[in-house]
Chain A
Amino acid sequence: MPLVHDGDARAFEVVFDRHADAAFSLAYRMCGRRAMAQDVVQDAFLSLWRSGAAYDRTRGSVRSWVLGVVRNRAIDLFRRETVRTGRDISAEGVVERMPAAEDVALDAERLQDARDVRSALCVLPSEQRQVIELAYFGGFSHMQIAEMLDLPPGTVKGRMRLGLSKLRVALGDPSGAML
């Protein structure tokens, strides 16, 4: 990343090749439309290229940084679309935005990580999984989720906290069991 910071396009190409599939997968999962996901990924990587200085390695991996920018770009796009066309913000609408998987090769370690995360999400109580997915992949605020599910905002926050605590235990940090 120091080379990307210095404007080295070859170093940036390595970063792109390493993270583009994960970035597109996240964008497609959030947008549900291939063309929109392409726009999000393109905007996100160009933004990363032009602001390489914003990466702070003490605050996480390059992958987390890239995917964070992708997610923010997707949410920005949702907000613009909501203003223009009135986005469907029902929980069902979000679920419909989930595309089917392609056969994309992952190395064995990443494949196992992906399986672990999916199975940990699957065993969560549905009401906890729902608020986590609506917030993370749907880009909805807790107030929007409370409105669409007809729940008090405090209940939504509580379900998010319980859900993340259970995921933490399931994914290997036993300190989560203390909560």
Chain B
Amino acid sequence: MTGRDRTADRHECGGDVAAYALGALDAAEAEAFRRHLQTCTVCQEELASFQEIVDELPLAAPRHRAPASVRRKVMREVAADARRRGRPAPRPGLARRARLVPRPVLALGAALLIAIGVFAAVQSGSSGGTRVLNAQVVGPGSVQLRIAHGHGSLVLRHFAPPPAGKIYEVWVQRGKRAPSSTGALFGVTSTGRGDVAVPGSLRGVSTVMVTPEPAGGSAQPTHAPVITVPLT
């Protein structure tokens, strides 16, 4: 019997899973449990399912808006770091500027936005500057593409997992060109949830799509899309 096996034997199987998922074991106990996990598939599975629940617990917290001062401080430091590294800096004061627009202009803009919103409500909605598009899906579940500042993320609910040995891959299509891979590969949780950032800007993208592909992804789609979101 190896040292690892003996550790696993000494460990009361399952007794620590919930406490570990909640981050409630002390450092030594957590380390012992991690060693146990390496050899116990039962605890691995139970931990994965508990982790999904623990990841949802923040939703139980009363909702608050992050103060603007926090955003200012964080983005000021980020911009300074980016300049030092010669990387693109954030657009200065974008959110601030929006609040300085004269009221009559805001009113006219709001009226226009309402008109556009009513027109677009059939297929999409918006919340706090985020554009939300409902995807066309094959099979059960629902998928939304949420777009903010030109970047998107797919939010999946009750969606089927990829077939055995496959993984979902995210593609973008520009005009009539062939779809190009974003490099984003993902699965869904046991309850069919997924939250996947679409890498890169969506400017010029006409369609975001998802196909099941062999593990590791493909250079070109090998299956028909199971998720399609037209952007135009």
Question: With A and B bound together, what is the CA distance between A136 and B21 in angstroms?
Answer: 9
Given the interface pairs A7-B82, A7-B87, the reply to whether A61 lies near B195 with Cβ below 8 Å is yes
Q: Which residues of chain B come closer than 8 Å to A25, judged between CB atoms? A: 58, 61-64
Binary contact track B54-94/A, C-beta < 8 Å → 1, others 0: 11111111111111011101110111011001011111000
Binary contact track B10-33/A, C-beta < 8 Å → 1, others 0: 000011111101111110000000
Q: Which residue of B lies closest to A6 (CB)?
A: B87
Do B26 and A38 touch (CB < 8 A)?
A: no
Is A148 in the interface zone, CB < 8 Å from B? no
Is B149 in the interface zone, CB < 8 Å from A? yes
Do B69 and A105 touch (CB < 8 A)?
A: no
Q: Which residues of chain A come closer than 8 Å to B155, judged between CB atoms? A: 109
Interface positions, chain A 9-51, Cβ under 8 Å from B, are: 9-14, 16-18, 20-26, 28-29, 34, 38, 41-42, 45-46, 49-50
Q: Which residues of chain A come closer than 8 Å to B25, judged between CB atoms? A: 141-142
Question: With A and B bound together, what is the CA distance between A46 and B184 in angstroms?
Answer: 25
SS class, residues of chain A in contact with chain B: helix
A65 CB to closest chain B CB (Å) equals 10
Do B90 and A9 touch (CB < 8 A)?
A: yes
Is A3 in the interface zone, CB < 8 Å from B? yes
Q: Which residues of chain A come closer than 8 Å to B87, judged between CB atoms? A: 6-9
Q: Which residue of B lies closest to A114 (CB)?
A: B59
Q: Which residues of chain B come closer than 8 Å to A60, judged between CB atoms? A: 51, 55
B116 CB to closest chain A CB (Å) equals 18
Q: Which residue of A lies closest to B89 (CB)?
A: A9
Is A95 in the interface zone, CB < 8 Å from B? no
Q: Which residues of chain A come closer than 8 Å to B200, judged between CB atoms? A: 3
Do B22 and A132 touch (CB < 8 A)?
A: yes
Pick the contact of A9 from B49, B78, B196 — CB < 8 Å?
Answer: B78
Do B74 and A113 touch (CB < 8 A)?
A: no
Do B74 and A62 touch (CB < 8 A)?
A: no
Interface size band for B: 35 or more
SS class, residues of chain B in contact with chain A: mixed
Is A107 in the interface zone, CB < 8 Å from B? yes
Given the interface pairs A14-B148, A101-B63, A137-B61, the reply to whether A46 lies near B74 with Cβ below 8 Å is yes
Of A76-84, A85-93, A163-171, the segment with at least 4 beta carbons within 8 Å of chain B is A163-171
Q: Which residues of chain B come closer than 8 Å to A136, judged between CB atoms? A: 22-23, 54, 57
Do B197 and A8 touch (CB < 8 A)?
A: no
Question: With A and B bound together, what is the CA distance between A154 and B53 in angstroms?
Answer: 21
Question: With A and B bound together, what is the CA distance between A152 and B6 in angstroms?
Answer: 25
Is A106 in the interface zone, CB < 8 Å from B? yes
A157 CB to closest chain B CB (Å) equals 5
Binary contact track B152-178/A, C-beta < 8 Å → 1, others 0: 010101000000000000000000000
Question: With A and B bound together, what is the CA distance between A25 and B62 in angstroms?
Answer: 6
Do B73 and A161 touch (CB < 8 A)?
A: no
Interface positions, chain A 94-128, Cβ under 8 Å from B, are: 98-102, 104-107, 109-110, 113-114, 117-118, 121
Residues of A within 8 A of B (CB): 1-3, 6-14, 16-18, 20-26, 28-29, 34, 38, 41-42, 45-46, 49-50, 57, 60-64, 67, 71, 75, 98-102, 104-107, 109-110, 113-114, 117-118, 121, 132, 135-137, 139-143, 145, 154, 156-158, 160-161, 163-165, 167-168, 171-173, 175-176
Given contacts A9-B88, A38-B70, A137-B57, 5 further A-B contacts (CB under 8 A): A12-B90, A114-B60, A135-B23, A160-B18, A164-B53
Residues of B within 8 A of A (CB): 14-19, 21-26, 49-67, 69-71, 73-75, 77-79, 81-82, 85, 87-91, 125, 127-130, 132, 144, 146, 148-149, 151, 153, 155, 157, 183-184, 186, 190-191, 194-197, 199-200
